[in-house]
């Protein structure tokens, strides 16, 4: 790394206006141009590095439109630090409402309300904002990586069908099936959960005739409990192709995620409609059905965490580093926090190897924490669900504090008044399960 270090000593301040950053004049290669990859590119550029992103798909990724949520403090930090455009549409709400179906009927019964602020986003709009913020990085669309290796000097080499290039840092942001992960954590395999998740994003026209449900969703996100699982529902901004053709406040989609077990031998894709018909209040079942079969995608649920997420010059980011069960709502959030950590260690550490080791220690520990939390939530909310109809505000608060078991982190922080054992209306952590 001597040559790179000599170059760094002689460079100007780069994009941040600071001197002495470890990333100044570094070459960073990012494998994967999705949210994790674009966020890593922003981190590298902000720290003064020369960044190249390799994205295997030729398609425009912003057309992907499922919903995600970001904790409001993290969203504010990302806007303030230049990762996200303040004008990127969001659909913030401050309350979580727990519902179930009334016994013997088809109407909904409200179990509890908790203060739970979240900032829902459209995946495609978030990606587009990060891509713009990455600025003048080389973004190579339709360029799948065929191999990753090391030079004798210790630099990483990214090879495609067209060429091979050397980098001081190689970021594996190539998703849950990461090939880069095999180099950093060989032998790691995701552990499957005994259930699936159906995700969808449907036009608000699906709520026509259900004004009470629409009004509820304009100020809250909803958790709907049923035997053997639960669903979450929240509004997200639409893209230019949705609703009124724009991204203003009136352009919204209904995002949902439903967790459950399809029967043995059933086609898991369309089963969510049968599940909703059997277990949901009539209005919510009708909303899911109106979305149509093409509106939902069924995914298996699994988790894995690499014991190491950095082996200089390689590091892992986003789902490549670890996959948690989606109850933790941390897929994109973790990728964004990975990027913030990467920028910080590059700015504040004297050499690349030490910077990546600091990143690895911090982010691996965070990933282990999330995997454990996701398993605990999945067990409590899908595998061994409570008797939802018997619960009220106090029962939900006490049960949920037990699920958290004192856990504190950026989405599910148990507040001091509830951690102390209060039996009243404690605040729940932010973020859908």
Query: What's the chain's length in residues?
Result: 433
Q: Please report the beta strands in 317-431, taking only residues with DSSP state E, as ranges in sequence order.
A: 322-323
Does residue 28 come out as left (phi exceeding 0), alpha (psi in the -120 to 50 range) or beta?
beta
Range in 17-31, 257-271, 350-364, 369-383 the model is least confident about: 17-31
Structural contact between residues 403 and 376, judged by C-beta atoms closer than 8 angstroms: yes
* pLDDT for 244 beyond 50: no
Task: Inform me whether the pLDDT recorded for 302 exceeds 80.
Answer: yes
Cα–Cα distances (Å) from 241 to 123, 238, 300, in that order, read 14, 8, 28
pLDDT at 23: 56
What is the reported pLDDT for 217?
97
φ, ψ dihedrals at 108, nearest 5°: -90, 145
Tokens for 129? 């904002």
The three-class DSSP label of residue 178 is coil
pLDDT in tens, 305-315: 999 999 999 99
Share of the chain above pLDDT 70, in %: 84
How high is the pLDDT of residue 193?
96
Least confident of 144-153, 289-298, 358-367, 382-391: 289-298
Helix axes 35-46, 331-348, angle to 10 degrees: 20
> Taking a C-beta distance cutoff of 8 angstroms, is the pair 195, 61 a contact?
no
Structure-token match 């904002």, residue found: 129
**70-129, pLDDT tens digit by residue?**
999 999 999 999 999 999 999 999 999 999 999 988 999 999 998 888 999 999 999 999
Give the β-pairing of 296-305 and 93-101. unpaired
Domains of the chain, first to last: 2-62+125-190+304-375 (3.50.50.60), 67-122+193-301 (3.30.9.60)
> What pLDDT, on a 0 to 100 scale, did the predictor assign at position 9?
32
pLDDT for 12 = 33
Residue predicted with more confidence, 230 or 177:
230
The DSSP line for 218-267 is TTEEEEEEETTEEEEEEEEE--TTSTTSS-STT-EEEEEEEEE-PPTTS-
Judge whether residue 245 has pLDDT over 50.
no
Residue 10 has a pLDDT of: 32
What is the pTM assigned to this prediction? 0.87
284 pLDDT above the threshold of 60: yes
pLDDT at 152: 87
Burial 12-51 (b: 16+ CB within 10 A, else e): eebbbeeeebbbbbbbbbbbbbbbbbbbbbbbbbbbbbbb
- 34 secondary structure, DSSP code: S
| DSSP β-ladder status, 145-150 and 252-260 | unpaired
pLDDT of residue 104: 86
Phi-psi region of 20 (alpha: psi -120 to 50; beta: other; left: phi over 0): left
Q: What's the CA gap between 93 and 367, in Å, rounded?
A: 27
Tell me how crowded residue 186 is: count the other CB atoms within 10 A of its CB.
8
CB-neighbour burial class of residue 275 (10 A; exposed 0-12, middle 13-18, buried 19+): buried
270 pLDDT above the threshold of 50 = yes
The token duo for 49 is 């590095």
Select the more confidently predicted residue: 385 or 57. 385
């Amino acid at each position: 790394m001597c040559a790179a270090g000599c170059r760094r000593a002689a460079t100007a301040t780069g994009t941040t206006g600071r001197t002495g950053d470890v990333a100044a004049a570094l070459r960073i290669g990012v494998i994967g141009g999705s949210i994790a990859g674009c966020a890593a590119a922003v981190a590298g550029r902000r720290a003064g590095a020369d960044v190249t992103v390799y994205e295997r798909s030729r398609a425009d990724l912003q057309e992907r439109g499922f919903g995600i949520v970001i904790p409001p403090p993290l969203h504010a930090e990302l806007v303030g630090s230049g990762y996200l455009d303040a004008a990127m549409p969001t659909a913030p709400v401050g309350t979580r409402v727990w519902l179930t179906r009334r016994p013997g009927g088809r109407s909904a019964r409200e179990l509890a309300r908790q203060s739970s602020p979240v900032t829902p986003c459209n995946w495609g709009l978030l990606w587009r904002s990060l891509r713009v913020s990455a600025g003048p990085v080389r973004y190579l669309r339709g360029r799948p990586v065929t191999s990753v290796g090391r030079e004798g000097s210790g630099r990483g080499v990214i090879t495609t069908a067209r060429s091979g290039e050397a980098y001081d840092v190689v970021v594996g942001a190539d998703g849950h099936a990461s090939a880069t992960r095999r180099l950093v954590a060989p032998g790691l395999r995701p552990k499957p959960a005994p259930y699936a998740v159906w995700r969808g994003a449907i036009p608000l026209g699906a709520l026509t005739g259900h004004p009470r449900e629409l009004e509820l969703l304009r100020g809250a996100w909803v958790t709907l409990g049923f035997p053997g699982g639960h669903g979450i529902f929240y509004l997200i901004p639409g893209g230019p192709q949705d609703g009124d053709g724009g991204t203003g406040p009136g352009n919204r989609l209904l995002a949902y995620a439903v967790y459950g077990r399809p029967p043995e031998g059933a086609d898991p894709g369309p089963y969510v409609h049968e599940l909703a018909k059997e277990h949901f209040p009539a209005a919510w079942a009708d909303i899911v059905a109106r979305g149509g079969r093409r509106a939902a995608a069924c995914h298996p649920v699994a988790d894995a965490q690499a014991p190491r997420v950095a082996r200089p010059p390689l590091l892992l980011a986003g789902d490549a580093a670890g996959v948690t069960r989606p109850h933790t709502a941390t897929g994109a959030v973790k990728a964004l926090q990975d990027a913030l950590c990467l920028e910080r260690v590059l700015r504040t550490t004297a050499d690349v190897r030490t910077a990546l080791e600091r990143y690895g220690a911090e982010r691996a520990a965070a990933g282990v924490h999330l995997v454990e939390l996701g398993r605990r939530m999945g067990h409590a909310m899908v595998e061994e669900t409570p008797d939802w109809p018997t619960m009220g505000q106090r029962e939900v608060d006490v049960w949920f504090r037990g699920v958290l078991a004192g856990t504190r982190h950026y989405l599910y922080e148990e507040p001091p008044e509830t951690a102390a054992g209060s039996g009243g209306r404690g605040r729940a952590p932010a973020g859908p399960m």
